[in-house]
Chain A
Amino acid sequence: MTAPTLTQAPEAVHGALTVRTLRECLLSVLSPDQRNRFVRDTAAVAELGAAALDTRFPAAGRYYGRGPLPGWAGWSVEDGIRTGLLLRLPAQGDDLAAEAAARYRGGDAAERRGVLRALPFLPVGAAGLTLTDDALRTNDTRLISAALGPYARAHLDQYRWRQAVLKCLFTGIPLHRVAGLHERRDAELARMAEGFAAERRAAGRTVPADLWLVATQEAADVTADRAPYDA
């Protein structure tokens, strides 16, 4: 008799508590009509699956609003709605990752940002990295910022993560938006940031003040103690 093959189910970055917090924050900013619509929309997705997203996913901003989501830095209400819709898909693992990727590929910029925001909530393991890679290749600061949240903090390898942080400096994204900046900064990133500052100074241009969040002696020192992301 052969032993059953045990494969570990992919996990989400965030736990149940964070999911609940997001839901509560979202409900707190919706009108009664919007709350009812959200209940109906999520129920439809749970019952009908991906087909129910075709009209609901692109229209999230139109029906629920595009303003800021209180308590969630950088999030808009529509990001929270899209995350809520994806969370109710009756799909798991690879199927769920494939559906998130399809919504990203078929989405406009706001839908793509919504998928990126949702990634740390979805139990897809590292399967969402193709999406963060795609976003980090763009020059759209909305997508780059959204790609550098808790999902990238947990899954993006150190080489690509450093490149992404440097891209923030290049495109003017404040570094405080990068999740896990203080844990993951290292001597190599400090060296790259110093190089960037030197180029800027040589050109007589200004150096972004938050560059010093990564170009620090401390950043160089902590590397010796911790390098879990280098494969």
Chain B
Amino acid sequence: MRIFDPHIHMTSRTTDDYKAMHAAGVRALVEPAFWLGQPRTHPASFTDYFDSLLGWEPYRAAQFGIRHYCTIGLNPKEANDPRCLPVLDLLPRYLAKDGVVAVGEIGYDTVTDAEELAFARQLELAVEHGLPALVHTPHRDKAGGTRRSLDVVRASGIDPALVVLDHLNEITVGEVADSGCWMGFSIYPDTKMTAERMVAVLKRFGTERVLVNSAADWGHSDPLLTRATADAMLAAGFDEDDVDRVLWRNPVSFYGQSGRLDLDGYNETQAAGLFAGNSVARGGS
């Protein structure tokens, strides 16, 4: 089984996670730029973070046989701090990079004017750079925030096929399905969505335009819940092709619209070679 996790924050995860993910079938992932738990107060903190998403983290992932891509953006939480707004002017430089396959995470957190300004501006940047956009939907007042996010997406003029609204649930999925945007689901141990609930959503809405991710980060989360969802799908009667579509071909189709996914040039042998000869895998000495 091959798995592409379309949303996971590996910066917060350990080498044990990388090993376990590879063993579970994960061969590629996208790490969206988001907040780090501790709010940042300087634009330069963001550039160091973005550089890490384009430098050290893909290198670390490669040691474990996993291809790492990222999305770049100013997240909605920190868009509320005027000290972080200059980050918006730094984004074009990053959106030109090969490892960047979308603008994101953008969207709403508390649904403020500042968030909306950054959201709309970054959708413009996505259009200018021909990139998909990853939209985080808020956890509080999710239904209202999701509806308003769709309004901002429509107003921007971006092709809905280039947009995914993430962290959806049973309440918000219908409206997004009708919009033509992609539907993202984050499978969490207790909260956002569980593997069993996900299977029920797939039975109701089908497997097209659906992305399933672990969204694992520095909080209580689990990078193996993509695999758990695949297993739950098989147990519920979906076949291997359905699983491959949801957990590999769908994310490849969505992020492939950037023209920057290069999964052909990357194979098991190369990954094994890197793993064997490297300092991270060996503990740095």
Contact = CB atoms under 8 A, between A and B. Distances in A.
Given A62-B260, A109-B58, A172 B279 contact: yes
B59 A108 contact: no
B265 A139 contact: no
Interface string A122-142: 000000000000000011111
Contacts, number: 50
**Interface size for chain A: under 10, 10 to 19, 20 to 34, or 35 or more residues?**
20 to 34
Interface string A166-185: 00001110000000000000
Interface string B46-59: 00000100111011
A110 B284 contact: no
Contact of B97 (A58, A66, A170): A58
B55 A108 contact: yes
B271 to A, nearest CB: 15
Contacts of B204: none
B172 interface: no
Contacts of B51: 108
Interface residues of B, number: 22
A61 interface: yes
Contact of B280 (A58, A62, A139): A139
B139 to A, nearest CB: 32
Contacts of B97: 58, 108
Contacts of A170: 279, 284-285
Interface of B: 51, 54-56, 58-59, 93, 96-99, 259-260, 262, 265, 277-280, 282, 284-285
28 contacts: A54-B93, A55-B96, A58-B98, A59-B98, A61-B98, A62-B98, A62-B259, A62-B260, A67-B265, A106-B93, A108-B51, A108-B98, A109-B54, A109-B56, A109-B59, A110-B98, A139-B279, A139-B280, A140-B55, A141-B277, A141-B278, A142-B59, A170-B284, A170-B285, A171-B278, A172-B277, A172-B278, A172-B279
Given A54-B93, A62-B260, A171-B279, 7 more contacts: A67-B265, A109-B56, A138-B56, A139-B279, A140-B56, A141-B278, A172-B277
